[in-house]
């Protein structure tokens, strides 16, 4: 994480006066901490603007605004809240190109990819529009004589979301759509690398009629995150990011008495059996490995080729690599943009050295791409490393870039052992024509999201998203039905309306019979 001591100190970039400020109580609020961070245009490598970093004081101001808004918001009728959710959905849809432009400018993803991200976020807003149905509780009439029992779900209060750089619009929508629709008020702490999309969303929510304080944005680094984790008026924290930070968020947040769901990193395996359609598997590997420059937590990171399928599959993937057009977002033919920062690009590229040094074979080296060598942007071409083994850094680390690895195993049993031994368990996929093998894989594999001939099995919004093992800390997955559970608490009411004059004292234990 980039930490900058004070505005302007030690910087060599061309100066800029553009700033991204916080959004508190329905308006933009300039930072007062004296700390900020640089935001780059990954396609040019140039410093584009600064983002204010919140201190505990600014986080407390956001919590106060959210707390003040909560009583009226939770008391707002479901039909009115649904109306606002519909308006938010429609405004995001209507302004998707403007929102996508923020993603391209700061994350670097090409417009088609940015629009795809927004489309997946919109699904969550659409799901949230059906909240009145989803919030329906249960009712038991005559549990005892003249006694009815019913369950309702109520919001938690002020809840917070801390989000990663790689989906600056979709992951916030995963969280806030359900959180505010269920009656909570929300504080978003987005990634400091691409902060502008959050403020743009805040403006759309305001235009849609969300009352001031229902949705707030505080920008910043660990200082802001720790202030969220420690604030006694925040009831729950949703987090998406890398595993070490997810673990820290879960441990610190739960210790402070909060409800926490913390989604971490991934190493997603794509198992290809010898009977698979090679062309289909190769196309899938290209899309899932290099889409969004490999900066997706559900990206295929490694292909596990079983038996004889390895050589033809690697040849088919290699043959397709020239079709992956790398370029900036303003090039309409570009399919894969730059990486988010120079530091990250260089770390990703380093596996092209450590891989062969540890015995792997580099089939394609993205550093040979002209944009890697000639551009100031953070580009790296599509790269492929074959004969990777579990001991190598290229397998042990989450690379999170356009470096796809291939591992060779002899049997299905060896493949499933490899996948299940991995500390991550986010997504995985099998490519085969054998329904029995696919069903066995679905039964045996230790991962939260499984694709059968589908390389990136991100659940639709009416299911929930979450991994296993070190890919998720907490009990409940993100969005969908489990998201509703996460952002609400159950209350069970036992009620009786006796006729006046029938009351009597009974010191016995309450009975239902
Ligand atoms: P990150 O963990 O560096 O940052 C995520 C958030 O945590 C940011 O808001 C950041 O400001 C904050 N943060 C960073 N360092 C911190 C610290 N020391 N203390 C407190 N807060 C800190 O992750 P990233 O690089 O922005 O995103 C990429 C990672 O996110 C990858 O590991 C990827 O797999 C993961 N990811 C997971 C999912 C999922 O659903 N499981 C989805 C998207 C991304």
For 288-303, the pLDDT digits (tens) are: 999 999 999 999 999 9
Q: Which protein residue has the closest C-alpha to ligand 1 atom 36? A: 241
Average pLDDT for residues 136-146, to the nearest whole number?
95
Asked if residues 162 and 174 have their Cβ atoms less than 8 Å apart, the reply is no
pLDDT of residue 379: 98
- Assign 248 a pLDDT band (cuts: 50, 70, 90): very high
Structure pTM?
0.96
Residue-wise pLDDT tens digits, 258-277? 999 999 999 999 999 999 99
Residue 486 CB contacts under 8 Å (≥ 6 apart), including other chains: 178, 236, 238, 259, 261, 476, 478
d(CA 476, CA 491): 19
Q: Is the pLDDT of residue 325 over 90?
A: yes
Pocket test for ligand 1, best of 52, 103, 117, 164 (most atoms within 8 A of CB): 164
Ligand 1: which of 245, 465, 473, 483 to mutate, judged by most atoms within 8 Å of the beta carbon?
A: 245
The residue whose CA has the least distance to atom 30 of ligand 1 is 241
Residue 187, classed as helix, strand or coil, is strand
Residue 296 has a pLDDT of 98
**Strand-pair partners of 441:** none
User: Which of these is catalytic: 101, 202, 217, 297?
Assistant: 297
> Cα(1) to centroid of ligand 1, in Å?
10
> Closest Cα to residue 128, out of 462, 457, 459?
462
pLDDT at 39: 98
Reported as a pLDDT band with limits 50, 70 and 90, residue 510 is confident
Sign, CA dihedral 269-431-295-226, equals negative
Give the CA count within 13 Å in the CB-facing half-sphere of 125.
25
Calpha distance 206→212 (Å, rounded) = 7
List the structure tokens of 79: 């039909």
Query: What is the reported pLDDT for 245?
Result: 98
**502: pLDDT confidence band, cut at 50, 70 and 90?**
confident
Mean pLDDT in residue range 392-407: 98
Distance 105 CA to ligand 1 centre (A): 20
Ligand 1 atom at minimum distance from 263 CA: 41
For residue 193, which atom of ligand 1 is closest to its CA?
26
Tell which atom from ligand 1 comes closest to the C-alpha of 165. 26
Long-range contacts from 495-501, C-beta under 8 angstroms, 24+ separation: 495/147, 495/148, 495/149, 495/150, 496/144, 496/146, 496/147, 496/148, 497/146, 498/146
Question: Average pLDDT of 369-388?
Answer: 98
Q: From CA 349, how far away is CA 373, in angstroms rounded?
A: 12
Write the CA distances from 263 to 424, 425, 473, integer angstroms. Answer: 11, 11, 6
According to the model, what pLDDT value does residue 155 have? 98
CB 461 within 8 A of CB 181: no
**What's the CA gap between 448 and 466, in Å, rounded?**
6
In angstroms, what is the C-alpha Rg of the chain?
25
Q: Tell me the three state secondary structure of residue 326.
A: strand
Does ligand 1 lie within 6 Å of residue 165's CB atom? yes
pLDDT for position 513: 63
Q: What is the mean pLDDT of residues 176-189?
A: 98
Residue 264 alpha carbon, nearest atom of ligand 1: 41
| pLDDT at residue 13, rounded to an integer | 63
Q: Give pLDDT, residue 501.
A: 85
Look at residue 4 in the predicted model and tell me its pLDDT: 35
Closest Cα to atom 10 of ligand 1: 191
The strand pairing partners of 237, in sequence order, are 160, 260
pLDDT at 110 > cutoff 50: yes
Q: 428-439 pLDDT, tens per residue?
A: 999 999 999 999
Which 3 state secondary structure label does DSSP give 155? Answer: strand
pLDDT at site 505 = 85
Span from the CA of 175 to the centroid of ligand 1 (angstroms): 15
Lowest-confidence pick of 8-12, 204-208, 405-409, 458-462? 8-12
In this predicted structure, what is the pLDDT of residue 3? Answer: 36
Percent of the chain with pLDDT over 90: 93
Average pLDDT over residues 80-101: 98
Q: Are 400 and 294 in contact (CB under 8 A)?
A: yes
Catalytic site includes residue 297: yes
pLDDT digits (tens, 9 = 90+) for 7-61: 333 345 667 889 999 999 999 999 999 999 999 999 999 999 999 999 999 999 9
Cα 295 versus chain centre, distance:
11
pLDDT at 367 over 60: yes
**Count of Cβ atoms closer than 10 Å to residue 345 Cβ:** 25
């Amino acid at each position: 994480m980039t930490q900058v001591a004070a505005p302007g100190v030690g910087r060599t970039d061309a100066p800029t006066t553009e700033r991204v400020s916080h959004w508190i109580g329905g308006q933009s609020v300039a930072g007062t901490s004296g700390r900020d961070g640089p935001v780059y245009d990954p396609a040019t490598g140039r410093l584009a603007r600064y983002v204010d970093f919140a201190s505990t004081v600014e986080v407390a101001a956001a919590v106060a605004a959210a707390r003040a808004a909560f009583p009226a918001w939770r008391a707002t009728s479901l039909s009115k809240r649904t109306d606002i959710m519909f308006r938010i959905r429609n405004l995001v849809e209507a302004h998707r190109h403007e929102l996508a432009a923020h993603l391209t400018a700061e994350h670097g993803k090409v417009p088609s990819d940015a629009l795809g991200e927004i489309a997946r976020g919109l699904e969550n807003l659409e799901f949230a529009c059906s909240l009145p149905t989803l919030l329906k509780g249960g009712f038991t009439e005559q549990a005892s004589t003249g006694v009815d029992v019913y369950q309702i779900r109520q919001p938690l209060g002020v809840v917070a979301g801390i989000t990663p750089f790689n989906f600056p619009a979709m992951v916030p929508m995963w969280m806030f759509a359900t959180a505010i629709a269920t009656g909570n008020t929300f504080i978003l702490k987005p990634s400091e690398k691409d902060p502008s999309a959050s403020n743009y969303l805040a403006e759309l929510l305001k235009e849609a009629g969300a009352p001031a304080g229902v949705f707030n944005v505080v920008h910043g680094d660990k200082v802001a995150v720790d202030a969220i984790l420690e604030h006694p008026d925040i009831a729950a924290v949703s987090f998406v990011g890398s595993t070490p930070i997810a673990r820290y968020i879960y441990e610190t947040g739960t210790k402070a008495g909060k409800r926490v769901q913390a989604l971490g990193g991934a190493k997603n395996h794509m198992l290809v059996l010898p009977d698979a359609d090679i062309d289909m598997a190769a196309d899938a590997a290209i899309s899932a490995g290099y889409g969004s420059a490999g900066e997706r937590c559900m990206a295929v990171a490694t292909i596990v080729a079983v038996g004889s399928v390895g050589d033809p599959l690697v040849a088919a993937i290699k043959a397709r690599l020239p079709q992956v057009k790398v370029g900036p977002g303003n090039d309409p033919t570009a399919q894969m943009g730059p990486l988010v920062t120079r530091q990250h690009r260089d770390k990703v590229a380093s596996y092209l050295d450590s891989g062969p040094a540890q015995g792997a074979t580099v089939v394609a080296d993205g550093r040979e791409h002209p944009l890697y060598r000639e551009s100031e942007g953070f580009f790296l071409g599509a790269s492929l490393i074959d004969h990777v083994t579990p001991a190598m850094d290229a397998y042990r680390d989450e690379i999170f870039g356009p470096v796809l690895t291939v591992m060779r195993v002899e049997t299905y049993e060896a493949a499933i052992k490899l996948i299940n031994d991995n500390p991550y368990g986010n997504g995985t996929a099998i490519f085969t024509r054998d329904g029995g093998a696919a069903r066995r894989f679905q039964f045996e594999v230790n991962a939260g999201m499984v694709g059968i001939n589908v390389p990136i099995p991100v659940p639709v919004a009416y299911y929930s998203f979450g991994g296993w093992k070190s890919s998720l800390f907490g009990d409940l997955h993100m969005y969908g039905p489990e998201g509703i559970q996460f952002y609400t608490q159950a209350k069970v009411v036992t009620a009786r309306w006796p006729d006046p004059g029938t009351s009597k004292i009974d010191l016995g234990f309450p009975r239902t019979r």
